[in-house]
Amino acid sequence: MNLPFDYDHVALGAFGGTTPTQTDFAAARVVILPVPLDRTTSYVPGTRTGPHEILVASSHMELWDEETETDVHHIGIYTLPEMEFPFASMDEVVAEIRRVSGEVVAHGKFPVVLGGEHSITPPVVAAVAERYPNLSVLQIDAHADLRDSFMGTPHNHACAMRRSLDHATSLTQVGIRSLSAEEAEAMPSLATTVFYDHNMRRDPAWMERVIDSLGETVYISIDVDGLDPAIMPSTGTPEPGGLGWYETLTLLRRVIERKQVVGCDVVELSPIPGLAAPNFLCAKLIYKILAYRFGADVRRR
């Protein structure tokens, strides 16, 4: 691996499989960063294998996207080896994720971070906000994740969005259907706009309101438990309700068309052995985001 920065983690396959020859880092527009962190999950563990299973599933995707009529992998998608953190404290883990994602962003790449638990998001948001000030975060999630600390640490996955707000200018939360009284009380004093799942069901204009709540520059964080567990059962803290597949795609496409989206993550996949569909959903979701974001650039070539 020939990288312009210091990187010492574990080797793995490439997003999209071997069909698109892995471009070199310098030529790639998109960099996939797999972060199999599974430290603070509170219910069902298993996010450690999430990035691996997304990459495996991605090697079985058709690379032609019929909706945008593009082969978006031509923009160059470079997959970094999995990050590993033996014996590191959460403070050290967070610092290393921030350092590496900062290098990716500093080289002008669009980062796609694969989780792993949601606590990987704040250091990525910190790194992205350093390059793009006034950053808005769009979070798709069942949970508010606004606790100031949980189970003795401010880096718990239940604090992911509270920590992200240390770096982002605003937060828009979509699909929320689980939070504590403490979080509900804190909300009015935080720079967040919340779209509760039950309200979205009664408001045909909710997507427009989401777009209106965002600034011009947006980072997207997708906790897969934001989706309906009927299509996404492979997650540690599932909640009934949530977004459907096409609803999710429509929202993402509209946001990407109207805003400057500068990076994203897909987190909290906790693969169930023998159940491929949710893993494949994650791979496809990422490829769709890239098709919406970079499809026009491929068509112009």
Residues that bind Mn ion (CB under 5 A): 141-143, 223, 225
Please, what is the minimum distance in Å from the beta carbon of residue 24 to Mn ion?
35
User: What does the alpha-carbon distance between residue 80 and residue 263 come to, in Å, rounded to a whole number?
Assistant: 15
Query: Whose CB is nearest to Mn ion?
Result: 143
Q: Residue 158 or residue 218: which is nearer to Mn ion going by CB?
A: 158
Please, what is the minimum distance in Å from the beta carbon of residue 26 to Mn ion?
35
Please, what is the minimum distance in Å from the beta carbon of residue 143 to Mn ion?
4
Q: Residue 183 or residue 223: which is nearer to Mn ion going by CB?
A: 223
Instruction: Name the amino acid, one letter, at 118.
Output: H
If 0-12 CB within 10 Å is exposed, 13-18 middle and 19+ buried, where does residue 99 land?
A: middle
Q: Residue 142 or residue 165: which is nearer to Mn ion going by CB?
A: 142
Q: Residue 94 or residue 232: which is nearer to Mn ion going by CB?
A: 232
If 0-12 CB within 10 Å is exposed, 13-18 middle and 19+ buried, where does residue 215 land?
A: middle
Letter string b/e over residues 229-261, b meaning 16 or more CB atoms within 10 A of that residue's CB: beebbbbbbbbebbbeeebbbebbbebbeebeb
Please, what is the minimum distance in Å from the beta carbon of residue 13 to Mn ion?
27
Please, what is the minimum distance in Å from the beta carbon of residue 288 to Mn ion?
20
End-to-end CA separation in angstroms for the chain: 28
Strand partners, 219: 137, 263
Q: Residue 100 or residue 264: which is nearer to Mn ion going by CB?
A: 264
